[in-house]
Amino acid sequence: VERISSASDVKDVLKKNTNCNIIRNIIEHKYQYDMNTSVDEIRPNYNKFYCSCKNSVPQAIICALEANSFEDALRNAVSLGGDSDTLACMAGGLAQICFNIPQKIIKKATFYMDENVKNIIGLFYGCLREKTQKSYESIVWQKNNYDR
């Protein structure tokens, strides 16, 4: 549960702050992760598969924080080696909060998806829109009933 909360907190911190030093300090203080390294400092000794959050989550966050674009965050993560697909997934998920995913990447990824995957993604976004609409309707209903 702590790690799920951690991911949610990181997302909220990224949405509210643009200063990388503030974000690093919040994450370091709250989760005792070492956030004082750079991608260049991590790279030489990282080319391993780690099974713990402390050896993958901070590194992915650093990859996202040091990026100049969505694609740069992915490149940072892949350059570390090891379980780079997982690192890139985490770094990309965080980076998309700060940067738009380029249309060329979306288009290329969609090209490789079979119809089943495209349908699942469509259903997911449909449910997300429906949930968002229901949440909005619930907020409006509550406001209208409490204002009486």
Segment 134-144, tens digit of pLDDT:
655 555 455 45
Supply the pLDDT for residue 9.
65
The Cα 35–Cα 19 span in angstroms is 14
pTM of the complete model? 0.71
Supply the pLDDT for residue 56.
86
Average pLDDT, the chain: 80
- Is 27:35 a contact under the CB 8 Å cutoff? yes
Can you tell me the mean pLDDT for 25-48? 86
The Cα 116–Cα 121 span in angstroms is 9
Can you tell me the mean pLDDT for 83-87? 90
pLDDT above 90 covers a percentage of the chain that reads 31
Supply the pLDDT for residue 4.
46
Can you tell me the mean pLDDT for 4-31? 71
Q: Please list the alpha-helical segments (H only) found in the chain.
A: 2-16, 20-31, 39-42, 57-65, 70-79, 84-98, 103-112, 115-146
Amino acid at 37: T
Q: 139 to each of 120, 126, 132, 133, 145, how far by Cα in Å?
A: 28, 20, 11, 10, 10
Apex 42 CA angle, 40 and 45, nearest 5: 120
Per-residue exposure over 90-100, b if at least 16 CB sit within 10 Å of its own CB, e if not? bbbebbeebbe
Can you tell me the mean pLDDT for 42-70? 86
Can you tell me the mean pLDDT for 85-97? 90
pLDDT, greater one: 118 or 13: 118
